[in-house]
Each structure stands twice: as structure tokens, then as C-alpha cells.
Amino acid sequence: MTVNQHVSDKVSKIEPLLTEWRRDLHQFPELGWCEYQTTAYIVEKLTPLSFQLFLGKEVSDSVSRMGLPTEEEDQWHLDRARKNGVPLELLEKMKGSHTGVVAQLDTGKPGKHMAFRFDIDALPIHETPDAEHAPVREQFASRHDGQMHACGHDGHTSIGLGVAHLLHDLKDELTGVYTLIFQPAEEGVRGAQSIVEKGWLDQADLFLAGHIMDQPVGTIVPGISSSLATSKYNVTFSGVSSHAGASPETGQNALFAAATAATQLYGIARHSAGATRMNVGKLIAGNGRNIIADTAYMEIETRGETNELNEYVSTKALTILKASADMHGVQVTSELVGKGISAQSDEIWSEIISSSVQGSKYVKHVSSSFEKIGGSEDATFMMERVQAKGGLATYLLYGSNLSAAHHNPAFDYGEGVLSIAVDTLIHIVLNQQT
Amino acid sequence: MTVNQHVSDKVSKIEPLLTEWRRDLHQFPELGWCEYQTTAYIVEKLTPLSFQLFLGKEVSDSVSRMGLPTEEEDQWHLDRARKNGVPLELLEKMKGSHTGVVAQLDTGKPGKHMAFRFDIDALPIHETPDAEHAPVREQFASRHDGQMHACGHDGHTSIGLGVAHLLHDLKDELTGVYTLIFQPAEEGVRGAQSIVEKGWLDQADLFLAGHIMDQPVGTIVPGISSSLATSKYNVTFSGVSSHAGASPETGQNALFAAATAATQLYGIARHSAGATRMNVGKLIAGNGRNIIADTAYMEIETRGETNELNEYVSTKALTILKASADMHGVQVTSELVGKGISAQSDEIWSEIISSSVQGSKYVKHVSSSFEKIGGSEDATFMMERVQAKGGLATYLLYGSNLSAAHHNPAFDYGEGVLSIAVDTLIHIVLNQQT
Amino acid sequence: MTVNQHVSDKVSKIEPLLTEWRRDLHQFPELGWCEYQTTAYIVEKLTPLSFQLFLGKEVSDSVSRMGLPTEEEDQWHLDRARKNGVPLELLEKMKGSHTGVVAQLDTGKPGKHMAFRFDIDALPIHETPDAEHAPVREQFASRHDGQMHACGHDGHTSIGLGVAHLLHDLKDELTGVYTLIFQPAEEGVRGAQSIVEKGWLDQADLFLAGHIMDQPVGTIVPGISSSLATSKYNVTFSGVSSHAGASPETGQNALFAAATAATQLYGIARHSAGATRMNVGKLIAGNGRNIIADTAYMEIETRGETNELNEYVSTKALTILKASADMHGVQVTSELVGKGISAQSDEIWSEIISSSVQGSKYVKHVSSSFEKIGGSEDATFMMERVQAKGGLATYLLYGSNLSAAHHNPAFDYGEGVLSIAVDTLIHIVLNQQT
Amino acid sequence: MTVNQHVSDKVSKIEPLLTEWRRDLHQFPELGWCEYQTTAYIVEKLTPLSFQLFLGKEVSDSVSRMGLPTEEEDQWHLDRARKNGVPLELLEKMKGSHTGVVAQLDTGKPGKHMAFRFDIDALPIHETPDAEHAPVREQFASRHDGQMHACGHDGHTSIGLGVAHLLHDLKDELTGVYTLIFQPAEEGVRGAQSIVEKGWLDQADLFLAGHIMDQPVGTIVPGISSSLATSKYNVTFSGVSSHAGASPETGQNALFAAATAATQLYGIARHSAGATRMNVGKLIAGNGRNIIADTAYMEIETRGETNELNEYVSTKALTILKASADMHGVQVTSELVGKGISAQSDEIWSEIISSSVQGSKYVKHVSSSFEKIGGSEDATFMMERVQAKGGLATYLLYGSNLSAAHHNPAFDYGEGVLSIAVDTLIHIVLNQQT
């Protein structure tokens, strides 16, 4: 029996489980740093296997976590998880936004240390109630009102569980070490750096992260390098309110400062070295129609094709924010709540992946061309660390038919992608055996 | 017994009631057009008296009401009122934001028709929990979280009830007709015009509205003309969202349009004919950091020393809003949700008032000087209608020590002002007997 | 013979001279601080009379002069004056923009010290070549291309010369001291303060300045107090240029900074204490279409009904200029090139003037009402100094039919106003004899 | 004798002429559409040769010329050319900005039709008087104050003359047709399209344009495709002036409109399909400090990596200009005064060029890598037309040491590049002989 046959048999056996896990996860989406129930679910599924599990403060470096929820929001999610049956002892370990799991299988035999990243968080989006939407039709739509797995991380998590099961199953044939990182808070690029800072990538020889993407079914695209470096800031302006009719001159207008900043931020000069981006995605200011506004809040992000380009935009943005505040006599503070860097996939590693999946029953095509994403990813922090330590890293796409764009209330994907992804990763693993 | 003695005796008898009513009302503040419980309270207190009461659609012209709450907000307030014990049959009459009461006493004897306006609505302000704050200390603070009588309309309503009681008491001595208007939605200048359009001011020979103000206790200021004409708009921009990293060019940025409008609105040219004002009091835009915003909402107001000046600013503002939308390829709609005009108090009527209160035990001083308010009032619509029909109209201030400015979470006033105001109004009434 | 007859006889005798002087002056208008030929003309006319003349650095405090021309401009004007025949020794005294004359007549007899201000500068305006325009028709239009007496200062100077002649004529009847100030650079409110700082107003008991204005002929309006306090700034932004296509990111965009400042300056909050004004009258920026602009220049002014209000606007403006520069990484400097303050005419002095001209053949009507000017004047510095030293000061208007508004290329006035003004001033003088 | 030897001998013979011509041309730089003296110089040098010369309206399609000078400017340049000795009959043909020459050599033998573009105009730049600057040191600096050959077009013209001389010399060995286009107004991308519209490129099988660039001496770079598509607009805002103090409300502020436009233009959303640029290079607005500005003028440009991207920015820009005008109640007109498109050099043609110069004594290196220029060129119109008709087109760079960047007052280049360029072009010609 060929390796291909060997793997495809095993993959086909867990196909029903991949779907079941994904549908379970889809029903209880949780926002970044609040994945209490999701983490517990992963733990439950991995506990019977031969992995050592790391939880809570073992997963991430506390102070390197970015864009944490408020204490109130965190508590609200934790309470919900408790009501949904998550055991108290697990919650105790995770409380304070220490979500996520690292699962490690050490074969005890010399070999490569391979690390995989699976992101597990969901989005603050109301899932469409449209009867045509598969999760509605098949009755696994989100039960968490206003929250939704609209970026496929339910699938990524399911793929991770599938890989874990097959690694467990194949463990006697394997050499080296396998680290599966179930990462919280990828949305907003908030979580990866804290895991990197905890040292989880320092020993990895080979690193892989992947994403379900709108490509032909059966196609995989290894070697993606196009994600933009990005910084996310929450910006708060504090002024002085006054009655807009009786004493407009005594106010220090935070709304005016924020509106000024918004119009100016979009005007940051383009850069000849490559693409940049600037967005003010949210602006909330003022208390009442007849009051000079004393508060304003903005959520902004900068991006750049390279870290330098992102830095260029960020630096200009902070200058503009400060000057806009000065202009209107108000105070401004900018909190960095998310950060992604640009990273290059290693070409040689992509080629190894290509040849690993030759003859696979699931993977029909390996594509090397891919249009730029324009998005950002914090798996890049992991890639950068692995490469800095001498390892190889790459970012994969798994093709699937999407019913709507990522982050859309009607987002969904063909579940066939789950077994294709597991098959891909296991092929790669087996190819690396000494 | 002099008239003065006669009146002051009657006023002093109801002093405890004035305080009681005011404190009751202070505990269940309701926003404009949602004064279900307040209206019911007024009805309850007036029912035993000799007034004919008009309710629901009898009070206001439905289509002339401005700045109505959403159906959802209205229903929420109505439900609260029902839970708080307001009888269903009353709610049935008022439902759909037909709040407020007109109470009319026709003596059947020839004489003047006098009309009084008392405003009854509260504000969306969290009352301070400070133990020094009298309503907290005396345990009559707002029980409606996030809503507060922070502009003294609880006192105005109590004054109206007091005047009603004394008119009832004195009815055999009186001639003519007395119309007491308990007006909803003065905040935001949304309610008066609809009552005017219903015709309630068409027969009035004499009109009076008043306000508790920061003046020495015992001082009244008749003849105020300084309120600014004003227009209030809710502005909505609708654009097209897109991913800020992947396809910034396909968005139509509503946030950018609104920020542009905000910065430009403040720049409307000053006018040589007098004072003008412009404010963008609230701005809420966008959905998420990495999304080009497809929605923005602003609450703005214009003001002018005269109607023409306000019109000048409003016209410019609407032009700017349209152009800001065009500039960013988005749609904009501006809804007029409040309007106040400027009006002149009749000097002769102010002089009559001055002489009416000569010798009053309560009124120590009649002041003719008053600094400009800079605020706006929709009682001006009533003043204008009365004057247009040949009657006299004026606006009074009742002096009181304020603990904080109007619309401040710590706003409060010395309750002594209540009897001073009732005394003033009854003196005026008696002075007008033929 | 009455005083009236006495004065009107003398005035009527010099009427042809008043016209002649005015028409001479109209032909060689000179910009502020460059009135070399004008000053020489005044000197020539006054030399035969009994006045002591002060010139050059005796007139003004050098460092208090504002808005001086560049050395190049100054030299250009001086050269023109030399070519036009101004004697070298006079030019020597005036060179470096020390223009203007103070003429003083000391009667040697105890009495009032009266000071009069006549402004002498012209404007950078092309006089209309329209054949209907009186100076064209009567052949006394400007011979200085691009410069024009479009604000009537030729008339004011002529009035000053007329007053000088009559004071000389009447000197044996007079007591006290008479100071005639022929002030340079009133346009742009640049000259008065430097004369005040030289001490010329310190001894004056009574002060008068006046202006030809669009009022009925024969009407004078004493007691004008409506001129706005004002500050004039020249603003220069210095950035760094770069190629807009090849390296937009290396530029520091001075044009963008200036445009930002311009839009923000108009948005300075209105003030509840009274009228304010803000204008960016001129903006010149950039070198070429495809270059990020490294320079920008703006001429701006602030105004206020009071000095405090003007100060409020100026302070805000300077803050905005600084922040706009910071925002775009450029430098900004703001030079104060003109300043006018608000001043109150003394009511008692206006009343004295009114009674002084009773029965005058020339003055038909003394008006006390005048609409606000909205303009500014630096005679206010002189008024303030006189009042500070205990004297009385006022500002007069002389009514005349204007053919077009002040500062218009077709501006002109009926020359009859000249004798009316001289008559007024001489009446006032005679009224003050002890 | 090899071809290489044959060519290099001929080139080395005219080396002194190349320098002489270049230095002559450098002394009388002329702005685009005003190259009267330059055109005459070219005519003088070509007349002795076997070329048919086309002048005046034969060169360009009158209405397709963009960014013409004003009649006044044109006349001024024409007068200067006449004073400098350009024959009247030549001026008569060229007058009205019909400058430039097309020189055609028809061998009468079947063969390729090759077309070459040489641009001839200069820039409005003051040449540095620095003694280190070679044109100063060698005494051939610009004699036209404020105008300078700061982009090397004097060299390009000299190269064109050299090519003409060698083609004339070699004509008996040649087959086919040779069209040499001496193009006016390349600066501002204003001239090429009008020549294309005249049909001069319709028969060309092979097209070449080139530029002196900062590359190692001896290096040529064929196949440049990186010039940005661009559009140039002159924008005029017309409003209504008013006195900024007395009646700010009656003005329609053109300066405010232009400043608004400037700040908004820079904020046009970046495009995911590639690089875009936007610049407001010049802004001139207003008449005086105390006047609401009634005029504003801007020079702007848009660019894009592709024609579609440039179109995207231009369309947005025109929308913003219109909305900025609407916002302030002013009129706006935008005149297209220059346009360049993006074009692709034909790879096969570049390869032919590479092999043509193999073994050349002058060309040391053929480079295929070149960083993006970020600039624009209107030779692209010619390239596009040739390709549309089935021919091949390319854009070459000739390496040279530059003393300062293009468009800098100290710009200069090593004159050795002239013979290298001529050698290159003649090699290419000989390589194409059948």
C-alpha cells in the first residue's frame, strides 16, 4: 500500500468526525480572548490522545497579549461558558483571557520538530437567518447571538483536531516532535505574538499555518507571502464639554479633533516602496446634539506591504492624531491593540510541500500563483520566529467554494476542504520522516 | 385682606404638595414623547379638579410632532409605564407617542383667555449618585436608570399642578378661560409646534411660559426674548463597505464623508447680522476597524439670533452635508427632528406682570436685565401664534439657587422656587380679572 | 459776524485748494510705509505755515512699525519718488520706511492740546479706466499703475492740509497746542501704534480722527465705536519638496499643511461674548504640479468686537497654525504685520462736537446712529492712549456720496465732503477756546 | 572591418559635434510649445542632409496639443526667438505654438520603417550659478533667465542630430524609411499625443524613445515599462468676494473651496490593483487679507501604474473638485493640460536591441533590471500607436553620471552619454537591414 493510500484511508475514516466537530464549533462561536468553551471543547477531544496539553498561562505570555476585552466583557463570556457547561476547574485555569491550547506529541525518536497553527476565534457578526445558508438549513447555525464563525476558524480548529487524531494514530511510525497550536484571537491580529513570546516556536524546524480560501476545491497554495504588515490602534480623545449655544468657546471639541484626524489620516502620502493602507473603521463621538463633545473614540489600522511601510504609515498616523488633538486643545491616547508583520514563506519548504502531496487522492492541484490578499495575519510572528531560529516556515491556502466573502454574515464553505487539509498536512508529516 | 395676602395664604397651603409632586415626578423621569407615566400622574392629580382634560391625539397634531422615538424605543417606554402601574385605558389613548395633557377651565364668565405652558419631559442623563446631591440625600433620585429630570421640568410640572389647584380653588372669583398646557418633548424643541398646529393657542389673549433659572431666589425676570432660533437634524450617511486592506477602492466611505461634513460645518461663515451657532453633537460611524464604513450618523443643530440667521446656517449646513456625501460617493438624508424659533416677549405684557406681583410675599425682585441664554425653546412657537392672533405673550424666569448647571448630572434647585412661581402666576391671573 | 459765518467764509476761500490738493494726491498714490512723495507733498504745503514739522524717525518708533515692505519694495518706491522729483535731502530723512509727518502749532497761550489724525496711504488696486469714473473724466486718475487711493485717504490728507491752513490763519485767535498727525500705513492697521509709542498722543487733551463714509452729504457722525479689534498675520510654512511620482513619501507637504490650516481656521468656535471674524485672504503654495510643495504663504486676519474676543480668535489661530504644521512635519512662522484694537469714543466729547457745529453752513445734520462697520482702524491705538492719559477721544464719519464701495477700483466721493470736514474740525477748535 | 568598428569610427568622428550642439542648445532653453529657437536650430542643422523636413502644422494636430501657453506667454517667447535671430519665415510657420520638427529619410528601398522620438523642451528652473556646475565652468549655462535644460533634452536633441547625420552618411547602405521626431512639450506630457494624432506613427514598424538616466556610464537599459499613466489638470475656482469683517456671509469663498479640495484629494482611497499618486503641486488663491477670496487656482496631477488606475484617481479627483466647489457655493472648471499613458515595451524588441549592440565599443553593459521610475512620459502614446498598428516599441535608458537629480537647478550629465546613445541607435539601425 502506498503512502497515499495509507493516508487517504485514515483521512476518509475521520471525515464524519471533521464535519461533526466543525458543526459543533460553529454553534458556539466566541470572540478573541474569550474562547472558553472552544478551548474546553478542544481539550475534551484531545484528552484521550497521546498529546501533552498546555493551557492557561502556559500558552501565552500575559503581557504580550494585545487587544484584550474589558474585564466586563471577559467576565460576560466566562459566565456564558460556565452556563454552557464548561467545567469550573478548566475555567479557573483560563480565566482572565488565557484561552487557547498547545498540544505536543513527542515521539521520543530523533527527528524534525514540526509546529502547526490553528486559529480558533470567531467574529462579532450576526449570522444570516437565510434558510439557504447551510448552517441554517442543516441546523448548526450560531447559538451565540451576534457572534459567528465567519472566517472559517471553526474549520481550522476541526482540521487541527483531525491532524491530532491521525498523528496519534500514526505515532508509532513517527519520529520527532509535533506541536499543535490552537491560537486565540487571530482576528485583530492580537494573539500570535504572545504565544511566540512564550517560546513555543523556538524549537520548531518546520512551521505551517493555513487558511480556507476561495480557490478551486482540491487546490492548495503553499508559500503565501502576501499578507500585509499591520498595526491596530484604539484612539481616545478627551476634551471639555460645554453648551453649544450658550458657551461654545469654553468647550474643547473632541469630536472636531477626531473628525479632523479622520480626514487627515486618509491623506498620508503614498509610498514609492510599495502598497500601504490606512483605515478609520469606527468613530464614536459626543454625548448630545447641543453639547460640545468631550469624548471621541476611533478604531484605526495601518498596513504596509513590508514592516517598514507599515511603520511609515503608523508613525505618520500617530503624528496626525497628536496634532489633531493639539489643534483642538484636547488630549489623545492611542493604544496598540493588534499587530501583524509581513513575512516570507520559504520557497524551498513550499516545494517540499508540493512534492509531499504528489499522488494524493484529495489534493488535485498545487497552485503557485495567488493574487494578493490585502489582509493581515499574525501567524507571521510565528513564521518570523521559526525562521530567525533557523527553521522553515510557510503559509498555505486550502481551496474551497465559499458561499460569501470572509466576514460576511452569509459566509460558508464546502466541508470537503476539511479532509483535503488534513490529508495535506499528514502527507507533509510523513514526507518528513527520517 | 389684600390680594397679596389672599394669594400667599393659598400658596403657602399647597407648598407641601408642590414639593411632594416634584419629588414624585423626579423619580420617574421620561424622555420626550414617552412621558406616559408623567402624563398619567398629571391626569390623576387634575381629575378631581374642575378642568376639562384633553389627552392623546387631542393634544397634538400627529404629523407636526418632531424627533419622535423609534417604534421600539416608544414601545419600551410604554411597557415600562405599564409595569409601573399606568392604567391600560390611559396608555391606549396615549400610545404612539401622544403624550401630554391640555387642561382647560372655562369660568363661563366673559374675560381673558389665558394660556400657560409647562414642559414635562426629562433627559437621557445618569443622575449623580453623589450623597451630597439632594435627591439622593432625600431619597427621591431617579429610579429610571440613565434618565433624569436635569432641566427642572419636574418643577415646572409641579408648578402647573399648583396653578391648577389654585385656579380650581379660586374659580368662583375668576372670569374668562384658563388653558394649562402640559407639553411633551421640549428638550430638542420637538413638541410645541404640534400643539400650536392643533390650535390650542388660537384663542389665547395672554400667554405665559417660564423656566427655573440661576437667579437670586425671589427674583423673577419677565420678558425674556433671547432664546436662539434653532433647527435640529439627524443626519444619516449610507455608503458601501469593503475590506480596508484587500479592496479599499470599492468602498464608499460614509465615515470619511461624515468627518468631512463635521469639519466643514464648523467653518460656516459668521454672519454680520448677529450671532449664529453650529454644532455636531454626536457622530457614530463604521462597523469595524478593517472595514470601510458604510454608515455614519450625526446629530447636529444650527442656531441664530433671529429666524433668518438660523435659516442662513441651516441652509449652508444642508449644502455642506450634500456636498460631503457627493464627495465620497455616499447618500445622505437629513431629518428635521426639532425646531425652535426666536420670539419677542411683549414689553407691555412684561410690565403688567411686574405690576401684578407688587407687594407679593414671595416675589422679592423683578429684574429686567438678563444675560443672553444662548439656549433655545419651543415655547416660542406658542408665543408667535398668540401674537399672530393679536394676543400678548412673554417668557418668564424664576430665580433659584442651582447646585449645578442645567443638563448636568448634579443639577438641582432650591424647591422654594415652586411656590414663588405659583404665587407669581396666580398674582398675574388675579390682576387680569375684569 | 458769528463764529459760523467767520468759519464758513474761511473754509469757502480754500475750497479750490482742497480740491486741487486732493486731485494732486490722487495721481501719485503710494502704499503704506512707502509714502515718500506724499510726505514730501505735505511738507511742501506746510512749510510756509507756522507749524513745526517732524519727519523721519521723529514721527514713529522704528521697532513698533508693523507690516513693513521688503527692502526691495521699499527701495523701488523710494527710487520712484526720486524720479518723480522728491528732493534727496527729504528722501534721506525718510528712507527705510520712515514716512509721515507730524505738524505742531504751539500758540504759546494756555489752552487745550488738540490732536488730529489724517491717514495718507493708498492701496494696491488698479484704478478703473472707466470714462465715467470722475478721476478719469477729470484727468486726475492714478499715474502709479496698480496703486490707487481707493479709501479716500487723499481726501483725508487734503482735509488735514486745509485744517493746517485755517489754524495758521486763525492762530492769533487760538490758545493751546495743535498736533496734526499725517499717519502712514493705516491700511493693514500697521502705522498708528508706532506713532503712539513715539509719545505723540501723550499730551493730547482732545483727539479726533475721521473717515469719509457713505452717509448723506452734510451729515457727520461723531462717536463711532464699532470698529473691530484685529490682528493681521503673514504665515509661512516651510517643508521639504520631493517628486510627487517617484518619492511622495520623502516630501513634507507645506501646501497640505496650509490647506489644512485654512479649513480649520474658519472652524474656530464662535464666542458667546460677541462677534468674531476669521479670514484667510490669500494663500500661495507650491512650485510645480509634480513637486510636493515645500513652501506655502498665507495672509490671515482675526477680528473681535472687543480686544478680548480678537485675542481669543488669534490665540486659537496660532494654535491651529502650529498644529497644522506639526501634522505635516513642516515649520511655520507667523509674523504680526498689523494690529487694531477696539476703542470707545467718549460720549461727552461727541456731544461737545454736536453742539460745536450747531448753525454751521456746511454741516446739515449730526447723526448718532450708525450701523456697525465690521472694519478695523488703528486710530484706536491713539484713542486708547489719549484716554489712558485722561483725555477725550472720538472717531467721526463725514458723509459723502460714494460712487462705489471702499477698496473698489471705481471708488470715488463727492469732493464737497472736504470743506464740510474742514468746517467741522475748525468749528470744534473754535468751540474749545478758553 | 566589422560593423562595430564601422559604427564606432563614424560615431567618434561626430563626438565633437555632439558636444557642440548640446552646449549650444543648453544656452537657449525654451519651455514646451515655445521651442522656436530650438526648432530653428534643428532645422538649420538638418537642412544640409538628405531628410525631408516637416514643420509647423505638419508636425502636430492642433487641437490635440495640451497645456498650451497663454497667447501672451507664447508671443513673449516668439519675440525673444526673433530677437535671437530666428528667421521670420520660420517663425511664421511655427507661430501659435506649432513647434517641433519631423525629419524623414526614405531610402527608396524596401525595408523597415523605423521611428525615433527626441524631446526638445526645457523647464522653468533657474540654473544654479555655482562655479562647480559644468555649464557655468565651461561657459555654456542658460542665457534664458529662469529657464533651463534640467532634464537632459538638450542632450536628447543632440543625439537626434547625431543620428540624423550618421543616417545621412550611411544612407546608401540603408533600406526602408527613417522618421526622426523632434517633439515639443514632453514636460507636462503635453506634446506626444498631438503628433500621434497627426499620423506620424501609423506606418512605423519599429519605435524607439530614450532618456539619459542615472545608471553606470556605458550601460543601456532597453525595455522600460515603468512609467506611470498620468493626467494633469489646471483647476480654477470662481466665487464671490466680500469684506471679511463687514459681510463675511455674502462671500462665496474660493480659497476655502480649494483648500478643502486639496485636503480631500490626498485622501483618495488607495487601490488594491497597484500604485496610484495624487498631487496638488500649486495653489494660488485670494486677493487680500481682508477679502473673502473669489478666485483660486490649482495645478494638480494624478498617476497610476496602469491607465485604469490613473483613470480611477482622476475620476475621484474630479468628483472631489466638483463637491468642494458645491460645498462653498463656487464654480469650478478643470482643464486637462497634460496626459501620459502607461505602455509596455515589447520584450522581443528589447532582446533585438540587446543583441544589436553586442561588441559595441561604446555600450559596455545591457541591463534588464531597473527600479521603478515613478515618473511619467508621453512617448507612451507613440508606443501604444505603433503597437496598435502591429509594430514594436520600446523605451531605452542611457546611463550617465548625473551631478544632481532631474529637474534640479544643478542637474548635469557626463557628455560621454551622447556618443554612447548615438552608437546604440545606429547599431540598432544596421542590425535591421535586410
Name the nearest CA neighbour of C241 among D291, D125, B357, B285.
Answer: D125
- Residues D384, C76: Cα–Cα separation, whole Å: 54
pLDDT of D300 reads 98
Lowest pLDDT segment from B78-87, B239-248, B391-400, C388-397 = B239-248
Query: How big is chain A, counted in residues?
Result: 434
* Averaged pLDDT score across all residues of chain B: 95
Res C3: pLDDT? 78
In this predicted model, what pLDDT tens digit does every residue of C58-116 receive, in sequence order? 999 999 999 999 999 999 999 999 999 999 999 999 999 999 999 999 999 999 999 99
Predicted confidence at residue D372, as pLDDT, reads 60
Check: CB of residue C415 under 8 Å from CB of residue C403: no
**Each residue's pLDDT tens digit, B230-287:** 999 999 999 999 889 888 999 999 999 999 999 999 999 999 999 999 999 999 999 8
How far apart CA C349 and CA C356 sit, in angstroms, is 10
Mutate to test the interface with D, among C277, C283, C284, C305 (most CBs of D within 10 A): C283
pLDDT of residue C372: 61
The model's pLDDT over C156-177, given as tens digits with 9 standing for 90+, comes to 999 999 999 999 999 999 999 9
Residue numbers of A between 276 and 305 with CB closer than 8 Å to C: 292
pLDDT at B372: 61
* DSSP-based three-state secondary structure for D58: helix
Q: How far apart are CA C51 and CA C179, in angstroms?
A: 9
List, for residues D77-129, the tens digit of each pLDDT value. Answer: 999 999 999 999 999 999 999 999 999 999 999 999 999 999 999 999 899 99
A259 interfaces chain B, CB cutoff of 8 Å? yes
pLDDT at A400: 95
Predicted pLDDT of residue C4? 81
The pLDDT > 90 percentage for chain B reads 89
A354-396: per-residue pLDDT in tens? 999 998 999 999 987 665 656 789 999 999 999 999 999 999 9
Ordered structural domains, chain C, with CATH: 3-227+343-431 (3.40.630.10), 229-339 (3.30.70.360)
- In 3D space, the residue among B144, B148, B145 whose CA is nearest the CA of residue B133 turns out to be B148
ipTM score here? Answer: 0.86
Tell me what percent of the residues of chain C surpass a pLDDT of 70. Answer: 98
Cα distance between residue B31 and residue B27, in whole Å: 13
Question: Using a CB-CB distance cutoff of 8 angstroms, which residues of chain B are in contact with residue D239?
Answer: none
How many beta-carbon contacts under 8 Å exist across A and D? Answer: 29
* C70: contact with B, CB 8 A cutoff: no
Which among B240, B242, B260, B310 is the top mutation candidate for probing chain D, defined by the most D β-carbons within 10 Å of its own β-carbon? B260
pLDDT tops 70 at residue C335 = yes
Predicted local confidence at residue A44, as pLDDT: 98
- pLDDT greater than 60 at residue B402: yes
In this predicted structure, the answer to whether residue B181 has a pLDDT above a threshold of 80 is yes
Residue A430: the pLDDT is: 94
Residue-level pLDDT at B369 = 67
Does C226 score more than 90 pLDDT?
A: no
Neighbours of C266 (CB within 10 A): 23
Lowest mean pLDDT among A199-208, C361-370, D319-328: C361-370
**D232: chain C residues, CB-CB within 8 Å:** 289
Q: How close does chain D come to C227, measured CA to CA in Å?
A: 10
Query: Would you say residue D406 has pLDDT above 70?
Result: yes
What Å distances lie between residue D126 and C255, D29, D142, D147, D375, CA to CA? 22, 11, 9, 6, 22
pLDDT of residue B287: 87
- B258 to chain D: which residues are within 8 Å by CB? none
What does the pLDDT read at residue D371? Answer: 58
Tell me: pLDDT of D186 over 80.
Answer: yes
By the CB < 8 Å criterion, does B247 face chain A? yes
Contact by Cβ (8 Å): C379, C208:
no
pLDDT beneath 50, residues of chain A: none
- Inform me whether the C-beta atom of residue C70 falls under 8 Å from chain D C-beta atoms: no
pLDDT tens digits, D211-255: 999 989 999 999 888 789 999 999 999 999 888 988 899 999 999
Write the pLDDT tens digit of every residue in B104-152: 999 999 999 999 999 999 999 899 999 999 999 999 999 999 999 999 9
Cβ neighbors of D82 (< 8 A, separation 6 or more) are D88, D91
Closest by CA to A57, choosing from A29, A94, A82, is A94
When mean pLDDT is compared across A131-135, D226-230, D320-324, D399-403, the lowest value belongs to D226-230
Q: Is the dihedral of CA B241, B245, B246, B248 positive or negative?
A: positive
Tell me the pLDDT of chain D averaged across its residues: 95
Tell me if D281 and C301 make a contact (CB, 8 A cut-off).
no
Beta-carbon contacts of A216 under 8 Å, excluding residues fewer than 6 positions away, are A364, A365, A399
Exposure string for A367-385, b = 16+ CB within 10 A, e = fewer: eeeeebbbbbbbbbbbbbb
CB contact under 8 A, A270 and D269: no
Residue B350 has pLDDT above 80, yes or no: yes
Higher pLDDT, D26 or C228: D26
Q: What is the 3-state secondary structure (H, E, C) of chain A?
A: CCHHHHHHHHHHHHHHHHHHHHHHHHHCCCECCCCHHHHHHHHHHHCCCCCEEEEHHHCCCHHHCCCCCCHHHHHHHHHHHHHCCCCHHHHHHHCCCCCCEEEEEECCCCCCEEEEEEECCEECCCCCCCCCCHHHHCCCCCCCCCCECCCCHHHHHHHHHHHHHHHHHHHHHCCCEEEEEEECCCCCCCCHHHHHHCCCCCCCCEEEEEEEECCCCCEEECCCCCCCEEEEEEEEEECECEECCCCHHHCECHHHHHHHHHHHHCCCCCECCECEEEEEEEEEECCCCCEECCEEEEEEEEEECCHHHHHHHHHHHHHHHHHHHHHCCCEEEEEEEEEECCCCCCHHHHHHHHHHCCCCCCCCEECCCCCCCCCCCCHHHHHHHHHHCCCEEEEEEEECCECCCCCCCCCCECCHHHHHHHHHHHHHHHHCCC
CB of A369 within 8 Å of a chain D CB? The answer is: no
Distance separating alpha carbons of residues D430 and D2, to the nearest angstrom = 12
Report pLDDT for C371. Answer: 58
CB-based contact D279 C266, cutoff 8 Å: no
With a pLDDT cut of 90, the percent of chain D lying above it is 89
Q: How confident is the model over B11-20, as pLDDT tens digits?
A: 999 999 999 9
Q: Would the CB atoms of A269 and C251 count as touching at under 8 Å?
A: yes
pLDDT band at B49 (very low <50, low <70, confident <90, very high): very high
Mutate one of D263, D270, D278 to test the A interface: name it (highest A CB count within 10 A): D270
Does the beta-carbon distance from A248 to C256 stay under 8 Å?
no
